[in-house]
Structure 1
């Protein structure tokens, strides 16, 4: 199964309104999973069995 998701945080608390920290944290979780993944400008895709992918998401 392939799941694509995007992060749209609000209220980041940063004066510049940047969502960089929230997005970087989400990508770190995906990378730590060890599952095949791809990150683009709009989505992160994760590939694996249902239970594996849902545990990451």
Structure 2
């Protein structure tokens, strides 16, 4: 089974960035132990 999802936070830091939220989501997936890959597209 292949599952894909997109991370698009509705908020971010005061400068409009979402990198910390995306980093936290990626960390959860990687710590799950499941095979995974990430890309920017």
Q: Which one has a bigger Cα radius of gyration?
A: 1
Fold equivalence (TM over 0.5): yes
Q: CA RMSD in A?
A: 0.8
**More strand per residue:** 1
Name the structure where helix makes up a greater proportion of residues. Answer: 1
TM-score (norm 2): 0.88
**Structure 1: gaps of 5 or more residues:** 43-57
Q: Which has the higher contact order (CA 8 A, sep 6+)?
A: 1
Aligned residues: 41
Moved over 6 A (4+): none
Q: Which runs of 5+ in 2 are unaligned?
A: none
After TM superposition, the score normalised by the length of structure 1 is 0.66
